[in-house]
Structure 1
Amino acid sequence: MKLYNIKEHSEQVTFSKALLQGLGKDQGLFFPVDLPKFSTFEINSLLEMNFIERSAYILSTYIGSELSKNSILSCVKNAFNFSVPLVFINDKIAILELFHGPTLSFKDFGSQLMAQMLKKVDYQLKKPMVILTATSGDTGAAVAHAFFEISNLHVIILYPRGKISVLQEKLFCTLGSNVSTISVDGDFDACQCLVKQAFLDSTLRQTLYLNSANSINIGRLLAQICYYFEGMSQLPYQMRNKLVIAVPSGNFGNLTAGLLAQSCGLPVKRFIAATNINDTVPRFLQSGYWEPHPTVATFSNAMDVSVPNNWPRIEELFLREKRSIKELGYGSVNDTLTEKTIQDIADLGYLSEPHTAVAYRLLYDQLDSDELGVCLGTAHPVKFKELVERCLGKQIQIVLPDLLTERMKLPILSYEISRCFSSLRNLILRITS
């Protein structure tokens, strides 16, 4: 597999190199040189396979001979060892539940597969490897658990202090061992900016081998393509060409993966990019002007991103395929409407959380009468227990699983820093020494 840097096309790397390197020169994202294309017959055959075999086949088509098919199959078996149910909540709309992994978030797919593939890639480093990642909520837990206690590897995760839920924080800030967490006095964009600075810092680059497990890493992105095929496989054949998918969007890796699945030949009619009031992309699609505003904290905190890193990949895909970016549906939902939507979904007998509610609201509002809608359920409602219970009043009380109950009792092990880069550099060098 060859990938190129979308900022500097002359920089081309193998899949293994992209997996290890994360970003290209000038912080450019890697993008496949060749995009797989499946015929209608091949798509129908793929949709008859089980999730593991199908996912391994799709990934093998992208990766090529760098990893053997057996190696890829082994990675997929170890990474995707949880269910992906499609649950209809009425006759027109279903939710694809992506939150049955170890940290109850869709981020488990990409993080688990990336960790498994790093074990297979043949690399010999003379410096310690550091997985350096920023999180707005769910990525941190998924990355921490995926790479926990992998030898010769440090995990360092930055997150915005006071802007993630208590359970989100407890899931990844209580592990210790090779996982270090850093609470930053700022929002997610500030954390992401610090991570970018770290990758450019000469002192850190000379001392450490830095990698990222954010959705900017191609290993995570390819993993996410697989569950779009799984969702489609659970639909009756006659409904597949009518499918509209609403994607809760923060850093836009999830939507990028869906569009890549569509590019392969998956017959998705259209996508809806669903954001909260951090609506840089919806405003851009409406006006044509890219004008990020300061990030605002919302109920759907994993989507509190004003400068989504993966958006350039979406633009690159549409440019490559000579499609108009205006094909995308879009919209934003504020907290008041998010809260009401959680109640509306509960009235249908389904317990949701704010990110899924944002996608559901826009899907419900934009779905045509002859279409079928699927929205991605990206997190388990227990991760937003207090908020969901407050929205629903006395209607319901969410019970924590035993494992999470025990984790809630553990102390937070995080370091605290300002948004000053020198503080981060010094702390990273101290953690890894």
Structure 2
Amino acid sequence: MKFYNINNHKEIISFKQALKIGLGKNQGLFFPSFIPKIHLKNINEILDMDFINRSSYLLSLFIKDEISSKDLIKIVNKAFNFPLKLVNIKDNIFCLELFHGPTLSFKDFGVRFMSQILNYFTKQKKIIILTATSGDTGAAVAHAFYNINNIEVIILYPKNKISILQEKLFCTLGKNIKTIAVQGNFDDCQKLVKQSFEDTYLRNKVILNSANSINISRLIAQICYYFEAFAQISKKNRNNVIISIPCGNFGNLTAGLISKSMGLPVKKFIAATNSNDTVLRYLKSGIWKPKKTITTLSNAMDVSNPNNWPRILELFQINNWDLNKLSSQSISDCITEQSIIKLYHQYEYITEPHSAIAYYALYSKIKHEKEFGIFLGTAHPAKFQNYINKILKITIQLPIVLTNYMKKENLSYNFPNNFTYFKNFLIKNYI
């Protein structure tokens, strides 16, 4: 399959090329030349497959011309070597727990697949991966690429705007992982990454890539867990599924919509955001007007200019879907906290801010008992230990993997929000 640049349809490249360059000309995102279709009568057969073989099959629909089925199964087996669980919260509301990977975040799926497949394609040339994070992406990227030959990783994050635990998970590794605390917000970090890709001198001197959700490999990997969610649902409920997704950069929602476009019978998606409500306001007014990013409890979603939104617009256009039918809701910190408390006291379920936002949006929009509601659990509550302990008046024990990293030294650099400063750092260390 070929992939085209949304901002320049004449730029058409292979999956391998899209994987390696990440972002196209004019900061354009790559998109599949077509969405593979699975006939409804074949959906149940695919859902009867185990997770690894099903995922390998789904991914092969996008990249089968460039990698053998045998090698792809090996890659998927290495990348997706942890469970995902569909947990019943109450009656017809379930949580799809995606945080059982090595960094306790849903982002382990996309980033680990990207690292394995990039390692497969990479030969002797060194690749530099630039990534901005508002929380969990940093840890997932750092751990997925740690100690992989010929790949250097630079992660930028907003100083003092992520939890100490999130910071420790990816700022203590060293070796081929460098981390930079930027005086600014996530959008500032994202802008520095994009400016680097647009800089002619840097592009001519080094091979740059990004492990953010803009990379097509991460996006298609996320398709796999939507199919797995349906595989864990009884056949009688598969036509009434509503999925609520906590949205920051909107990669998760994009993957879900691609799954629907492929043939997965999702009845409705809910785009649940925090107070950074650019998309919600756009759906109401038709005007794209990002505001200054607001710091919230759900810090990984503190994004006012979501990168993947152009892909969603592209998907709606090629499918001739009505954008007005996309449901979205903005949830305040107050409601987020109330939802965490409610889930614990009423259902004995412990969650964290991002997942709580998705839960509330689902709970408030699900209409009747025949609807089967799923909200995505995107991060382990232990990653927000101090906050959860405080509001629930309990003590969450940190998993051993987190405890060990809390003891390590933070190796981050501290940078101003200045592209020239960052560019000089890249030139000094990598050219």
Partner of 1:281: 279
State the 1:276 CA deviation.
0.1
Q: Which residue of 2 aligns with 1:349?
A: 348
Amino acid at match of 2:266: V
Q: Structure 1: how far apart are the matches of 2:20 and 2:88?
A: 39
Determine the structure 2 residue equivalent to 1:100: 100
| Runs of 4 or more above 3 Å deviation | 122-125
Q: What are the Cα deviations for residues 378-432 of structure 1, in whole angstroms up to 9, with x where unaligned?
A: 000011111111221x2x2111122221210111000010101011111122332
Counterpart check, 1:2 vs 2:2: yes
Q: In the TM superposition, what whole-angstrom CA distance separates every residue of 1:316-346 from its partner, at most 9, and x where no partner exists?
A: 0000011111121110101111111000111
- Partner residue, 2:366: 367
Q: TM-score, normalised by structure 1?
A: 0.98
**1:55 and 1:76 in contact (8 A); partners too:** yes
State the match for 2:316 in structure 1. 318
Alignment of 1:246-325 (within 5 A): 246-325=244-323
For 1:9 and 1:202, the matched residues in 2 are separated by: 21
The change in CA–CA distance for 1:52 and 1:202 in structure 2 (over 3 A counts) is same
Partner of 1:241: 239
1:20 aligns to 2:40 (yes or no): no
Secondary structure (helix, strand or coil) at the match of 2:65 reads helix
| Correspondence for 1:413 | 411
User: Unpaired segments of 5 or more residues in structure 2?
Assistant: none
Q: CA deviation at 1:124?
A: 5.3
Distance 2:299 2:326 in 1: 23
Q: Once the two structures are superposed, what CA deviation does each residue of 1:224-273 show, in whole Å capped at 9, x if it has no partner?
A: 00000001110111001110000000000000000000001001000000
Match of 1:148 among 146, 149, 161: 146
Partner of 1:31: 31
Question: What is the letter of the counterpart of residue 314 of structure 1?
Answer: I
Q: What secondary structure sits across from 2:306 in the alignment?
A: coil
1:64-143 to structure 2, matched below 5 A, reads 64-121=64-121, 125=125, 128-143=126-141
**What's the secondary structure of 2:35's corresponding residue?**
coil
CA distance in 2, matches of 1:432, 1:7: 29
- Whole-angstrom CA distance in 1 between matches of 2:360 and 2:400: 32
Q: Secondary structure at the match of 1:197?
A: helix
Q: In the alignment, is the contact (CA less than 8 A) between 1:154 and 1:432 conserved in 2?
A: no
Separation of aligned partners in 2, 1:327 and 1:117: 36
SS in 1 for 2:212: coil
Counterpart of 2:139 in 1: which secondary structure? helix
SS at structure 2 position matched to 1:65:
coil
The equivalent residue for 2:169 is 171
Unaligned runs of 5+ in 1: none
* Structure-2 residue corresponding to 1:401: 399
Aligned to 1:45: 45
Q: CA RMSD in A?
A: 0.9
Does the alignment pair 1:213 with 2:228? no
Aligned amino acid, residue 363 of structure 1: L
Match of 2:386 in 1: 386
**Distance in 2 between residues matched to 1:174 and 1:119, nearest whole Å:** 23
Contact 2:124 2:150 in 1 (8 A): no
Measured after TM superposition, the shift of residue 123 of structure 1 is 5.1
Give the Cα separation in 2 of the matches to 1:414 and 1:428: 15
Q: Percent identity?
A: 55
SS at match of 1:59: helix
Deviates more, 1:331-340 or 1:197-206: 197-206
Q: Which one-letter code corresponds to 1:191 in the other structure?
A: C
Asked if 2 retains the 8 angstrom alpha-carbon contact of 1:385 and 1:398, the reply is yes
Deviations 1:180-218 (A, max 9, x none): 000000000000001000111122222211000000000
SS at match of 2:396: coil
AA aligned opposite 1:353: E
1:14-72 deviation per Cα after TM superposition (whole angstroms, max 9, x unaligned): 00000001011101000000211001121110110110000000000111211111111
In the other structure, the counterpart of 2:181 is 183
Q: TM-score, normalised by structure 2?
A: 0.98
Give the deviation of 1:122 after TM superposition.
Answer: 5.5
Name 2:421's counterpart in structure 1: 423
Q: Is the 8 A contact 1:71 1:120 kept in 2?
A: no
Separation in 2 of the partners of 1:118 and 1:290? 34
